[in-house]
Structure 1
Amino acid sequence: MTTVGLIVEYNPFHNGHRYHLQQSRKITGADAVVAVMSGHFLQRGEPAMADKWLRTRMALEGGCDLVIELPVAYATQPAEWFAYGAVKLLKATGVVDAFCFGTESGSLAPLLAAADAAAFEPQAFKDLLKQQLNQGVPYPSAYSSAIASYLNELGLPEAASFPFSQPNHTLGLHYLIALNRLGGGLRPYTIARQGAQYGDTSIDDGPIASATALRKLLSEGGRLEDIKPYVPASTLHILTEARKNGIPPIGWNTFLPQLMHVIATSGAAGLRELRDMTEGLEHRIVKSLAVMQGFDMEHLLNALKTKRYTRTKLQRALLSILLGHAKSDFTREKLEEGVRYIRVLGFSPKGQELLAEMRRSAALPVLLNASRLAETNRYLELDIAATGAYMLGMPGADLPSAMLRDFRDKPVMLAPE
């Protein structure tokens, strides 16, 4: 069985995701699809609009065969570590032959050239990156600029002119860098995104809108029926049933009371020990409480905003506060060690066949719930804690039982047709 891997968030699963999935099958000739999916909290420092089990069902109904969880330790990181954790998991399954990611251009060659050149960060590249950072350039832009300059120095002007700073090109580059660092073993592919691009906030008349635009529409009072043209019927049905059960789409404001409590009781000294607290950001966060113009996340972000910090940087810092992510758990050495388990969130009938094969071939333990290894693996402990934090913010959740769903819930199973 030929299998293609996808790295996803599905927040929510929409028509663009379905196109990517279908095209990934087509260009790789795959019989099955394995998705590595972020859990309750996402790469840009945001809570998912629906919990990981609901989004797993969206993925399976949308055409995935096996869904495994990207641990929160990687899912909430900048591109380098997000990519590293996801590619590490795909390789570790032992059943994935290729992986396919979306990019703005659909061009793989420049990304391969850049990944080959910079995967192990030669000193010349490090010097170029340091120059950019010393000029006050935010890290993502500094990295893209350093890549381009380094490729020029290597005599690769065509690759150097590639727009590495575009969000999906940045992620794609880091997927390929991670693949190099992990010794290869998967065939990479890319396809051009269709319709709305990553992060677009507007919706036009086409069938594809970005997940950002769909979430914005719902957060501003839109009805679930309003997103019908842009999502598969299965996604709309899952979200509609969730709302009937008292579970509306979740946003940052849901977690603001918990976040404010931690900020108020920790103070700058306590916040300093958390991940993403750099350049005195902890002091700015504490002081921001006095100048907020209203009790919601946008007002908090506006109070924090400066030219030095991107919105994503600030959201990740606030998320580290909410989840209690200490710097000591996120050293380069610990992250390089990589994920030490494969957490299965759901499978189709074909995925069940893959799961049986994966149990024989995987390089890591395969978990169907969190009970095994829960007390001996720090990153699994962080996943369990992330579920607890997420459920505390979910209206109508059956607490404290819902906080322990990682121990209780079995993988989502798609019934045979």
Structure 2
Amino acid sequence: MNTVGIIAEYNPLHNGHVHHFEASKKLSGADSAIVVMSGPFTQRGEPAAVSKQARTEMALHMGADLVLELPVAYAVQPAEWFAFGAVALLEATGVVDSLCFGTEAGTLSALLPLAGFLADESSVLQGEIRRRMALGASFPAAYSAAAAAVWEGSFMGDERPFDAAELLRQPNNSLGLHYLIALRRLGSAIQPLTVPRTGAGFHEPLQSGSSIASATAIRRLLAEGGSPAAYMPEYSLSILEREHAAGRGPLNLESFRIQLRHVLSTRTASELRALQDMNEGLEHRLLRILPSLPHFSVSGLLEALKSKRYTHTRLQRLLLHVLLNHSKAEMMPAKLAQGPGYIRVLGFRESGRQLLKRMKHSAAWPVVTSPARFSHPNLEWDLQAASAYAGAFANPLRTDLYHDYLQPPVRV
């Protein structure tokens, strides 16, 4: 059985995701597909619009055979660790033959040699990143610029084969580069494949006459009370509407306003300083800003915190680390480099049973279908994140707050 791996958030699952899924199956020639999906919170530091169970259901209806959860310790991280955690999970299954992701480039001809060059993260690259950050650049901007500069400087005056700076300005190219770097660092035999990204980019508005829109644009449409019917498959829209009717979404950061205000108002500067991403005195800045806000809102807090050095996304992730009490000590690079440590099954089709049977013999880590019967620090964070997420529902029930303990994986 030939199996392709896909890394996604499906926040929510739309026509562009369907296109990528079908293109991945076709390009890889795979009989089956495993999706590694973020749980309640996403890489851009936002809550998912609907629960991981609802998004798993969407993925299974689309045709995914097996859906695995990317632990929150990796899901709410910059591209490097997000990519590493997801690729490490696919590698640990022992059944994945290829990994297919979308890029603006639509080819790996430039990304592969660049990934090979950057995989060791030389002292020269690290120094260039630090230099650019000292000048006020955010980490993503500093990394991309430093990577391009070090790559181009390696040609000693010879003509460079491609413009690395231009390549890395595109978000999917940059994320794809980190998938390739993760494959190299893991010594994985998984074959990387890419398909051209289709339709609107991350921040582009809805386009008249197009059936493909970005997940960001769809979430904005939902927040404005509009219908995304033109941009989503029927099964995905139906699940979204069901969750909305039940008061289980769509959620956004403002849905956690009360929880965040409580946590921020009951923590000291030293307690905040111990949390992930709370660097360079941000804890003091946070505590100074809070009393100055006329009406507390997450958007108002982010607006007051933002600067050239700290991107909106970085600050959103910071607030999620505060909400979820993620400590620096537990998210040190040395710990993240060990990988998730378990394979959490969110859902499967009948065809996915065969994959699970194979994984009993091939998986490098325990395959978890019942969290109540397994213990791991990363899994504890996942369970806490799921409960915190459900706490923002309109009327959370016990079955919402403790869904991971009470319900089996989703079956379609």
TM-score range (shorter-chain normalised) is over 0.9
Shift of 1:293: 4.4
CA deviation after TM superposition for structure 1 residue 348, in Å: 1.0
Alignment of 1:254-293 (within 5 A): 254-293=255-294
Asked whether the equivalents of residues 40 and 386 of structure 1 are also in contact (C-alpha less than 8 Å), the reply is yes
Question: What is the one-letter code of the residue matched to 2:27?
Answer: I
2: distance between equivalents of 1:68 and 1:330?
A: 21
Partner residue of 1:163 out of 155, 163, 167: 167
Q: Which residue of the partner structure matches residue 16 of structure 1?
A: 16
Aligned counterparts of 1:369 and 1:205: Cα–Cα separation in 2:
45
**Equivalent residues in 2 for 1:11-410, closer than 5 Å:** 11-155=11-155, 157-161=160-164, 162-222=166-226, 226-374=227-375, 377-399=376-398, 401-410=399-408
TM-score (norm 1): 0.95
> Does the 8 A contact of 2:212 with 2:231 survive in 1?
yes
What amino acid does structure 2 have at the position aligned with 1:406?
A: D
Q: For the Cα contact (< 8 Å) 1:259–1:322, is it kept in 2? A: yes
8 Å contact kept, 1:12–1:55: yes
Give distance in 1, aligned partners of 2:248 and 2:344: 24
SS in 2 for 1:290: helix
- How far does residue 382 in structure 1 lie from its aligned partner after superposition? 0.5
Distance 1:293 1:203 in 2: 37
CA–CA distance in structure 1, aligned partners of residues 268 and 28 of structure 2: 52
| Alpha carbons 2:261, 2:296 under 8 Å: kept | no
Tell me, in whole angstroms, the C-alpha distance in 1 between the residues paired with 2:204 and 2:5. Answer: 25
- Paired AA for residue 216 in structure 1: R
Contact 2:136-2:308 within 8 A present in 1 as well: no
Tell me the SS of whatever aligns to 1:337. Answer: coil
Shift of 1:98: 0.2
Instruction: Give the Å deviation of 1:289.
Output: 1.6
Specify every segment of 5 or more residues in structure 1 that has no aligned partner in the other structure, as ranges: none
Higher relative contact order (CA 8 A, sep 6+): 2
Show CA shifts across 1:376-414 (max 9, x none).
x11111001101111111112213x43222122111111
> For residues 111 and 67 of structure 1, what CA distance do their matches in structure 2 show?
27
CA distance in 1: counterparts of 2:92 and 2:78, whole angstroms: 21
Q: Which whole-Å CA distance do the structure 1 matches of 2:113 and 2:131 have between them?
A: 22
Deviations 1:345-382 (A, max 9, x none): 011111111111112211110000212322xx111110
Aligned 8 A contact 2:53 2:346 in 1? yes
Structure 1's consecutive aligned runs of 4 or more residues displaced over 6 angstroms after TM superposition are none
Deviations 1:7-52 (A, max 9, x none): 0000000000000000000111011110000000000111011010
* 8 Å contact kept, 1:203–1:213: no
Of stretches 126-135 and 332-341 in structure 1, the one that deviates more from structure 2 is 126-135
Q: How many residues in Structure 1 have an aligned counterpart in Structure 2?
A: 408
Q: Cα–Cα, structure 1 residues 54 and 182, in superposed 2: closer, same or farther, change >3 Å?
A: same
| Equivalent residues of 2:67, 2:348 under 8 A apart | yes
Q: Which moved more, 1:337-346 or 1:235-244?
A: 235-244
Q: Secondary structure at the match of 1:159?
A: coil
In structure 1, distance between residues paired with 2:73 and 2:313: 16
The answer to which of 44-53 and 364-373 deviates more is: 364-373
Residues 242-265 of structure 1: CA deviation (Å, up to 9, x unaligned): 223232311111111010001000
Contact 1:168-1:198 at 8 Å conserved across structures: no
TM-score by length of 2: 0.96
- Would you say the 8 A contact 1:201–1:216 is kept in 2? no
Q: Quote the Cα distance in structure 2 between the aligned partners of 1:45 and 1:78.
A: 10
CA contact (8 A) 2:15 2:233 kept: yes
User: Which runs of 5 or more residues in structure 2 are unaligned?
Assistant: none
Are 2:263 and 2:323, in contact at CA under 8 Å, matched by a contact in 1?
Answer: yes
Rounded Cα–Cα distance in structure 2 between residues aligned with 1:93 and 1:260: 40
Contact 1:108–1:190 (Cα < 8 Å) also in 2: yes
Q: Distance in 2 between matches of 1:50 and 1:397?
A: 13
1:242-297 per-position Cα deviation (integer Å, ceiling 9, x unaligned): 22323231111111101000100003222111001011111111222223244332
- The separation in 2 between residues aligned to 1:285 and 1:48, in whole angstroms, is 25
